[in-house]
């Protein structure tokens, strides 16, 4: 029985280290995205302020932050903001959908890749 508990503890430790590594990677990637857009990178670690900055970078008004607080509406608004974020960096709609579903993959591509910020345009 104690071997089972030890194995479970070891497995959970590895799992938590993996999740922590993904979180650190995402924070660093969003920090780079904000920096590329001329916004303060440290905004990536401040709750709600990071959503406000994401809206501004995407070309949406800052008050859209309120829409993120409304259940179900926040899903649609997030998709719109991520698509606009991708377009602000010269990427397509598919990349924005990729950010929505797989941010742990697409944020680092945007932040650490060669994409450059083209502006806060809403088309």
Q: CA 75 from chain center: how many Å?
A: 14
Sign of CA dihedral 5, 8, 12, 18: positive
* Those residues with Cβ within 8 angstroms of residue 62's Cβ, 6 or more apart along the chain or in another chain: 52, 55, 56
Q: Are 26 and 107 in contact (CB under 8 A)?
A: yes
**Of residues 5 and 44, more confidently modeled:** 44
> What is the spatial distance between Cα 55 and Cα 120, in angstroms, rounded to a whole number?
9
pTM: 0.88
Average the pLDDT over 10-27 and give the result: 93
Query: How do residues 48-71 score in pLDDT, each as one tens digit?
Result: 999 999 999 999 999 999 999 999
């Amino acid at each position: 029985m104690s071997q089972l508990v030890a194995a479970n503890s070891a497995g959970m430790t590895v799992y938590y280290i993996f999740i922590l590594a993904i979180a650190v990677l995402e924070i660093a990637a969003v920090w780079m995205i904000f920096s590329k857009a001329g916004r303060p990178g440290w905004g990536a670690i401040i709750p709600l302020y990071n959503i406000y900055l994401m809206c501004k970078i995407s070309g949406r008004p800052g008050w859209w932050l309120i829409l993120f607080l409304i259940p179900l509406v926040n899903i649609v608004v997030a998709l719109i903001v991520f698509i606009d974020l991708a377009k602000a960096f010269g990427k397509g709609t598919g990349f924005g959908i990729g950010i929505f579903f797989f941010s742990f993959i697409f944020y680092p591509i945007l932040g650490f890749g060669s994409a450059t910020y083209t502006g806060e345009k809403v088309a």
